[in-house]
Structure 1
């Protein structure tokens, strides 16, 4: 149990670590401030806070570029994120996505094609008939649920296996795989259906069918209904949230801020500093080990500096955490190693005052994803200036984001797959330019570019992921009690919303245990 004035280390200065620190200091839900109870030190190895959230505002011109995640969804645990936005006083800086971004597209058979939509029924019917998949959808409600799925609570299978069973290989390859590439940068023949899309897996059991599933619009699977209802902080200030959602005039359910997602990061950092949290950036932790009295832990950085803490909350990727236990706990190191990660590159291309480029993307919605069957090195392309016109000066400006990389299993189906960890940034940029030229006829040079490579940036939730996480959590609980707490996106959700909600949940449980 933690008592007043105990020292807590939070490892990781991304959205998970910042929000864990915020909820520790400010309380959860309607809780009171804990500023006088805990001494919190946050460690971040990079020279900036925010993790993969990274926004650039180009000098001398209004142009907001997201070099990592580009938006947040308001559905499911997004309501909790909006509650945080409200508590930070950022509601007046919110912007919602334009209706221009509602269209969803695929690069299919060498062409950018719009996906089926309830608003375009005739076109949708023509698309489904043209792809030869009508029978797949008609037959699905009559397919039996395998006995193992019903009888074995821990039964798991790949996303590919699940959708191939229910809808056939072609639907899985054309529609489901690109979604996995876009969300996880993942290999859908390895990704777990229960870890990535639990409500879809549960729908098969409860309904004996996927009837009613919005396959083409499925973006986030974490909904309030999948989260323990006994947590009282699930009830934020409803009126405040309703007033925020009323600003979403086009009902897109997707939001950001006038100056990008880094607005949220900056506000959290400012709040933590004001509440006395010690923020250490550019600090690499070398080792974590038990202190001399056996009741707490020592954190040793690469320069040999030592600090002692009563409790540690880690929100960093397991690939960064396990080396810290190399000397002190080989068993935990091995367990953490069992969670694989994948790398992805995010490339931004900005075209200023170029009506030709703007005209070529204006009717292409938020962008398009690319199935492996197309045999191209790009996972997807996003038109950020369509989604948030507030990010540009005029309708002649364009912000395009290209994603390359992902899990190496993709190369089994796509020989053009790129290992971004082994590629030069200039090479990646040239690949992106060639792609835009071939499929969008964009021949002009961009006015500004940026290439980010997020090495081991996304946890890869492979079949059996939930069981592996339970094994890790069971080991930590047995050997560390509440002295070591694991958070971050390796557990049960890779989105910004998932990360924030997980931090809030773990802090809530921690504070309850401290009573």
Structure 2
């Protein structure tokens, strides 16, 4: 039997890493501190077939990471379980921004190119011209807000990037790193002087998919049925029948079939490294292993290391996370005046909500309208204090949909979740700090790989893709 590899953290990153190790014939131990696997992915099935998502709800099929998740779906024999929203659907095309309690669709057609429309109030042509006439700023990194303000103007920064950043990261665009979140835009300016000029000058290569074999990574033309289907049907976003939790269940089935050791309620107490061997203290037992994959949040990993790794601990502790209240509201019948993906609220508009997703516009469920209100994020403590009750969050969500959507009837059912520390904040300088962490691990020959949303991307796709990549790059034997 090959030696055990230990994965700490049973969220989607830890599960994906353990799965890739098992596929390569390795013995794996996966330890999760909580009472369930899946991390922030959690689907709540109700008795009548309705499903609430309390965490991530849709995935994008595009890009290297998007295709990697579709490949995983095929590997788990779950190809037929995918449900998708085509790019032509209103739930894909219509995204709203709330300004002064009015919801404005983001327009991208010919009219928006030449004429000003809310919420940006400037024609897109002038935005392009501003970028092309703005000199390059040589820098290692910059906040997402400052980058957008400088290159595209205040309106785009305030009413476009600010709410987008809140919806994606739960964070403040004035703090979040453009290099970490929108690296292609940052590199376009650094390499070519302007964003649009850089995008036009870059040669677009034929899109290929990453196929991972036990012996490495190779670029090949896609043979993934799910990737082929996503292109043929023009998917905008997709999910799984029964909710994204089914992807977690698929990974667990595979791990059990490979006889992986799976432990719940088993927090790692301490990590020690000596002579190329890792000692993993799990409280109930101590494991010696050739390599550890840490999929726990960066500050949690810092707490497991001894003071001899003070430099690494300091770097890990720079990656903090924000709290999010998530409230699912279900109404009888159709209560929305228009179909859309949902709306986002810029920070300058105040309020306690970051935005609301119109879940059943994307994936209808019987005769119900289901909305998910996102609360707090970077501003959680300032608007809710340290210890809000579920009733506090529920009332905030109900007030939000009444104010913005005019829904005054009480919800038929609801579910309230408070996710503490759920979204890591990749603030300015994140990439350089990440390089510092990995340089330290390499220079000190630590048998440790860091994976998860704290590092290379916060989306489910990013977590799955980089876990796959991390296992591949080690060339474990």
TM-score in terms of structure 2 length: 0.90
Alpha-carbon distance in structure 2 between the residues aligned to 1:246 and 1:130: 31
Using the TM superposition, give the Cα deviation of residue 327 of structure 1 relative to its aligned residue in structure 2, in angstroms: 5.5
Two-structure CA RMSD over aligned residues (Å): 2.8
Alpha-carbon distance in structure 2 between the residues aligned to 1:498 and 1:259: 22
* Aligned position for 2:51: 64
**Does 2:453 match 1:509?**
no
**Does 2:368 match 1:379?**
no
C-alpha distance 424-124 of structure 1, shift in aligned 2 (>3 A): farther
* Aligned position for 2:99: 108
* Aligned position for 2:129: 139
**Does 2:447 match 1:486?**
no
Q: Give the conservation status (yes or no) of the 8 Å contact 2:120–2:160.
A: no
CA deviations 1:247-269 (Å, max 9, x no partner) are 63xx3421001111011100100
Gaps of 5+ in 1: 28-33, 150-154, 215-222, 412-416
**Does 2:384 match 1:393?**
no
Using the TM superposition, give the Cα deviation of residue 109 of structure 1 relative to its aligned residue in structure 2, in angstroms: 2.1
* Aligned position for 1:439: 404
Secondary structure at the aligned position of 1:435 is classed as helix
* Aligned position for 2:156: 171
C-alpha distance 231-374 of structure 1, shift in aligned 2 (>3 A): farther
Matches within 5 A, 1:9-20: 9-20=6-17
* Aligned position for 1:219: none
Alpha-carbon distance in structure 1 between the residues aligned to 2:393 and 2:453: 26
Q: Give the conservation status (yes or no) of the 8 Å contact 2:61–2:227.
A: no
Using the TM superposition, give the Cα deviation of residue 6 of structure 1 relative to its aligned residue in structure 2, in angstroms: 1.6
Matches within 5 A, 1:66-215: 66-76=53-63, 77-97=65-85, 99-102=89-92, 103-118=94-109, 121-122=110-111, 128=117, 131-134=120-123, 136-137=126-127, 139-149=129-139, 155-211=140-196
Q: Which has the higher strand share?
A: 2
Secondary structure at the aligned position of 1:445 is classed as coil
Q: Give the conservation status (yes or no) of the 8 Å contact 2:328–2:414.
A: yes
Alpha-carbon distance in structure 2 between the residues aligned to 1:246 and 1:469: 34
Using the TM superposition, give the Cα deviation of residue 96 of structure 1 relative to its aligned residue in structure 2, in angstroms: 0.2
* Aligned position for 1:21: 18
Alpha-carbon distance in structure 1 between the residues aligned to 2:415 and 2:118: 40
TM-score in terms of structure 1 length: 0.83
Alpha-carbon distance in structure 1 between the residues aligned to 2:297 and 2:8: 10
C-alpha distance 127-432 of structure 1, shift in aligned 2 (>3 A): farther
Matches within 5 A, 1:273-352: 273-290=256-273, 294-301=275-282, 303=283, 305-326=285-306, 329-351=309-331
Equivalent pairs, count: 464
Using the TM superposition, give the Cα deviation of residue 136 of structure 1 relative to its aligned residue in structure 2, in angstroms: 4.6
Using the TM superposition, give the Cα deviation of residue 140 of structure 1 relative to its aligned residue in structure 2, in angstroms: 1.4
Using the TM superposition, give the Cα deviation of residue 184 of structure 1 relative to its aligned residue in structure 2, in angstroms: 0.6
Alpha-carbon distance in structure 2 between the residues aligned to 1:246 and 1:239: 11
Q: Give the conservation status (yes or no) of the 8 Å contact 1:80–1:236.
A: no
Alpha-carbon distance in structure 1 between the residues aligned to 2:264 and 2:134: 54
C-alpha distance 213-377 of structure 1, shift in aligned 2 (>3 A): farther
Gaps of 5+ in 2: 200-205
Q: Give the conservation status (yes or no) of the 8 Å contact 2:59–2:238.
A: yes
Using the TM superposition, give the Cα deviation of residue 335 of structure 1 relative to its aligned residue in structure 2, in angstroms: 2.1
Q: Give the conservation status (yes or no) of the 8 Å contact 2:208–2:220.
A: no
Matches within 5 A, 1:405-444: 405-408=376-379, 418-419=383-384, 421-444=386-409
Alpha-carbon distance in structure 2 between the residues aligned to 1:226 and 1:464: 30
Using the TM superposition, give the Cα deviation of residue 277 of structure 1 relative to its aligned residue in structure 2, in angstroms: 0.5
Secondary structure at the aligned position of 1:19 is classed as helix
Instruction: Choose from 25, 35, 57 the match for 1:47.
Output: 35
Q: Give the conservation status (yes or no) of the 8 Å contact 1:145–1:205.
A: no
Alpha-carbon distance in structure 1 between the residues aligned to 2:411 and 2:105: 26
Using the TM superposition, give the Cα deviation of residue 285 of structure 1 relative to its aligned residue in structure 2, in angstroms: 1.6
Using the TM superposition, give the Cα deviation of residue 274 of structure 1 relative to its aligned residue in structure 2, in angstroms: 0.6
Alpha-carbon distance in structure 2 between the residues aligned to 1:209 and 1:372: 27
Using the TM superposition, give the Cα deviation of residue 123 of structure 1 relative to its aligned residue in structure 2, in angstroms: 6.7
Alpha-carbon distance in structure 1 between the residues aligned to 2:116 and 2:4: 59
Q: Give the conservation status (yes or no) of the 8 Å contact 2:324–2:419.
A: yes
Alpha-carbon distance in structure 1 between the residues aligned to 2:253 and 2:194: 48
Using the TM superposition, give the Cα deviation of residue 143 of structure 1 relative to its aligned residue in structure 2, in angstroms: 2.2
Using the TM superposition, give the Cα deviation of residue 374 of structure 1 relative to its aligned residue in structure 2, in angstroms: 1.2
